[in-house]
Chains A and B, each alone.
Chain A
């Protein structure tokens, strides 16, 4: 391990403002991913030996391999690739969406414009790992334009996604470095107006005994249940902690939810507690972090919050915030109590593993990642860059690694939308007009619209048991929750349409996102070569010999001219196939 780390010299940069901000959050300062690379004399010890091994890794760690990235990765090795990726500046979406408001032809940009920015960043951004982290986090800390009037708020949503991308690996702001930690992420997410609207605690007020009102419990409940801790206490390997009767111990009672509802009172837009900056033209208050209005905050109550051991009895060890603690203190300290709960490391680690590499990781895999979450080796808790490195480089995720002991198994269904991004990235998808216009309806064919899930429960749930042998064995398959007889076809149809838009197709328009299939077309007279190229480009060389034979037989039956006929025929079937649908 030390050899691998040694080839990159690290420079740690702290600034007083960053230190101060982190101190306020109760977070230890993290090292900056501000890596300076040496003159190339380092020995690369972990370079993938084959294109297949490199492409497989990039399928997990990015939105899909490209020829250039495969070459790069093979040159510098896994750790250097990850370190470089995490040190790249964040490709952001909000400014792109926001500036459209100034353009006469657009004005009042909508979700389609935000999705355009999303697709462009996803396909072209150099900071692929950071973007992929943002995508994963957007499925854990969910905001969606399907709810809470966020449909009319694409700028706030774009900024929300940018928060996830920035906090995935840290960022510079006003000369200071903000470390990419889970604690920082939870704090920034909480102050985002998009989240404030999504889980309805923007303008949440102290209860009024006279009116018989109580603070809104929505965020209080879901921030603990979905974003951090979960409903039952967990060991570091994610297995539940059981009581004397063999039942899982609850993480917290309803009283804790009610107390956190009091913590989350008083927050609203910078433009005023009851203001609405979203209307018509965008004001910066629409996306700036919410601020606290003391007179709407619950100051009167001392708040009994979480017990890390589940001991909520009188005289137990539940942590408390005093009355009259102040609005900002309540939020910062209340969130720190959540962020430092021992459940967080296994709870978040397991979901990141599910998003990147495997639906059913072994408990040991989860525990290894959770250990890095708890301490990155430099005493930093929740270092998301270190966590994702641990996810991607775990032995269980290794190329041709032995499978974990049953019933656990390595691998996952590809997310339906990531089938498209893999296809788009390898074949350099681009439109003549420079945009990536794809309507929400097109995204809906995959049942995955970025920041457009049906609810806070995402497109699918981490604990989804697919009916049949996977569920019967007690195993999980989140992506199968959106894989049914209807969506299997709608996804296949949409991918087929995308493949038909090859560069040079006379039907293309200025805004058609075209894929460059010319290298494949050159192989049209050689069905075996064509199928081998597809295997290399899209399936990291893992295609079975049976599938190869089937595709070659099929391609041979398609007229050799026009050349794109064979290419698109093969792509259409491959993109719908079971082997492409699973990554392992």
Chain B
């Protein structure tokens, strides 16, 4: 079965399914067509994307649970460390254990250190392969602490709620319960650059996620050991069974539920052989990865990248994740393991991109729904708002901190509890929107300004759509 044949047949069947839907359910179809039309209108208004010869990939590392990133990046000069220590109380990391980093362009007297478990990230930062975007979170428009406290001032929906804030980071806009994410909307536009590709440009190592859900391009979910194969279709009956199964998943079913399941199964059948072949015939980087779930996932990302030519992939977007950051309890016990897992996996992954000669072509970045209260609930911290995020890659203008100044006037916010930049328990008010952060990454991947404005509809509320960390 040739892949091309399969794809064409699928598209035909999908159109047929749409026609069936039109007959079945007018209202649902109407809203679907409206959405498709508006998406088409967007792409028609903006310039088309000419072919590219180079390769670029974005790798999103989502830290689920709300990473306490004010223990990851710590101000270590005497004055500000004292404030940090007072605000964090028992949660403070001892000053003499912090790993010093050298921050290009830091204000006179400002010093910073990383959590002692982050030696890999410290090396990447000091080698200018990594940068921090500080005090960043979900916003509708620039918001000072005083404005936040003013009734009626527009703020994002459901601050402090895990699933809502995870959504806001992934949607590309501060809206309630969206269907699509900015990674998926980027893939909708850039998929045209992967001419001849039969695998979507979005690959997930963490199953379904809102970040990669597009209008047209949906992620292909694989595992850390590669694509999952369908077993049991060999031997005497195998060919007849596979033919029957393919027939069943290619039927035009009368209801959306059956169609949705069938389409997922068809994707799996369509993509599996191509991806397996491509990975099997590629030469993966020889880099040693740490034996962690994140290490395993990023190792597979590197393997897929090594197979990019066979996949006809010029642009790719990957999604990996790590959980366990909801440290209400036992934070001091758990944080070293969490941070060393991130740091170890990221530095191995950077090394792997070097081994592939692609360090300038792959940019890795963290997302997390929120950071946590500076002060403690006894042996952990609670949900808060803005946090610090790490961006890594040869194309990153590394060794620096990025973002907009906080209300205090400083780029790195003032950590005094209930001070200028945070609320009573040390919930930091973001000075930079996560949409500015995301748009900077999407622009690097190749999205034009016209499309950025539709993918990130609130971007225009902020002074810049480019934070500068990608040059």
Contacts and interface: CB of A to CB of B under 8 A. Distances in A.
Interface string A433-476: 00000000000000100000011010001010111111111110
A138 interface: no
Interface stretch (A209-217, A275-283, A315-323, A390-398): A209-217
Contact of B208 (A481, A492, A557): A481
**Interface size bucket, A side?**
35 or more
B377 A465 contact: no
Interface in A476-529: 477, 480-490, 492-493, 496
A19 interface: no
Contacts of B160: 221, 254, 257
A302 interface: no
Contact of B425 (A214, A221, A553): A214
A213 B378 contact: yes
B328 interface: yes
Contacts of B228: 485-487, 489-490, 493
Contacts of A467: 179-180, 184, 213-214, 218
Contact of A473 (B31, B240, B378): B31
A406 B227 contact: no
B89 A213 contact: yes
B328 A578 contact: no
B257 A576 contact: no
Contact of B64 (A411, A455, A472, A550): A455
A547 interface: yes
B227 A477 contact: no
A199 B65 CA distance: 12
A554 B417 CA distance: 70
A48 B144 CA distance: 64
Contacts of A576: 245, 265
Interface stretch (A180-188, A348-356, A565-573): A565-573
A378 interface: no
Interface string A548-584: 0011011001110000010001001100111101101
B247 interface: yes
A412 interface: yes
A85 interface: no
A546 interface: yes
Nearest to B27: A406
A200 interface: yes
Contacts of B375: 212-214
A225 interface: yes
A225 B161 contact: yes
B377 A213 contact: yes
A535 to B, nearest CB: 14
B283 interface: no
* Residue of A203, A413, A472, A492 contacting most chain B CB atoms (<10 Å): A472
Contact of A565 (B237, B251, B417): B237
Interface stretch (B49-57, B101-109, B266-274): B266-274
A554 B243 contact: yes
B68 to A, nearest CB: 14
A474 B31 contact: yes
A465 B177 contact: yes
Given A471-B179, A554-B241, A409 B256 contact: yes
A321 to B, nearest CB: 20
A461 B163 contact: yes
Contacts of A239: none
B28 A573 contact: no
A527 to B, nearest CB: 12
A257 B221 CA distance: 37
Contacts of A481: 207-208
B377 A573 contact: no
* Residue of B204, B227, B230, B267 contacting most chain A CB atoms (<10 Å): B230
Contacts of B179: 465, 467, 471-472, 474
A485 B272 contact: yes
Contact of B382 (A218, A557, A572, A579): A218
Nearest to A559: B236
Interface residues of B, number: 87
A407 interface: yes
Given A485-B272, A486-B223, A488-B268, A411 B248 contact: no
Interface string B247-270: 111010101111111111101100
Contact of B244 (A212, A474, A483, A550): A550
B90 interface: yes
B204 to A, nearest CB: 7
Contacts of A578: 248-249, 251, 253, 258-259, 261-262, 265
A216 B161 contact: no
Contacts of B241: 554, 558, 569, 572-573
A87 interface: no
Given A218-B328, A485-B228, A213 B163 contact: no
Interface in B55-112: 64-65, 89-90
Contacts of B421: none
A156 to B, nearest CB: 16
Nearest to A577: B248
Nearest to B275: A485
Given A216-B382, A488-B268, A469 B162 contact: no
A558 B215 CA distance: 41
B265 A488 contact: yes
Contacts of B227: 485-486
A584 B237 contact: no
B28 A475 contact: yes
A232 to B, nearest CB: 9
Interface in A378-425: 406-407, 409, 411-413
A457 B163 contact: yes
Given A214-B375, A231-B161, A484-B207, A582 B230 contact: no
Contacts of B271: 485
28 contacts: A147-B326, A212-B417, A213-B376, A216-B380, A216-B382, A221-B161, A225-B161, A231-B161, A248-B176, A257-B160, A409-B25, A455-B323, A467-B213, A469-B260, A472-B32, A477-B260, A481-B208, A482-B208, A485-B227, A486-B223, A487-B228, A489-B272, A550-B248, A557-B237, A569-B240, A573-B248, A576-B265, A579-B248
Interface of A: 146-148, 199-200, 203-205, 211-218, 221, 225, 231, 248, 250, 254, 257, 261, 359, 406-407, 409, 411-413, 447, 454-455, 457, 461, 463, 465-475, 477, 480-490, 492-493, 496, 546-547, 550-551, 553-554, 557-559, 565, 569, 572-573, 576-579, 581-582, 584
The 4 A-B pairs at the shortest CB distance, nearest first, are namely A484-B221, A485-B268, A554-B244, A557-B240
Interface of B: 21, 25-29, 31-32, 35-36, 64-65, 89-90, 158-164, 176-180, 184, 204, 207-208, 213-215, 218-223, 227-232, 236-237, 240-241, 243-245, 247-249, 251, 253, 255-265, 267-268, 271-272, 323-324, 326, 328-329, 373, 375-378, 380, 382-383, 417, 425
Given A493-B232, A554-B243, 11 more contacts: A146-B323, A217-B377, A469-B21, A471-B180, A473-B256, A480-B261, A485-B272, A488-B268, A489-B230, A557-B237, A582-B261
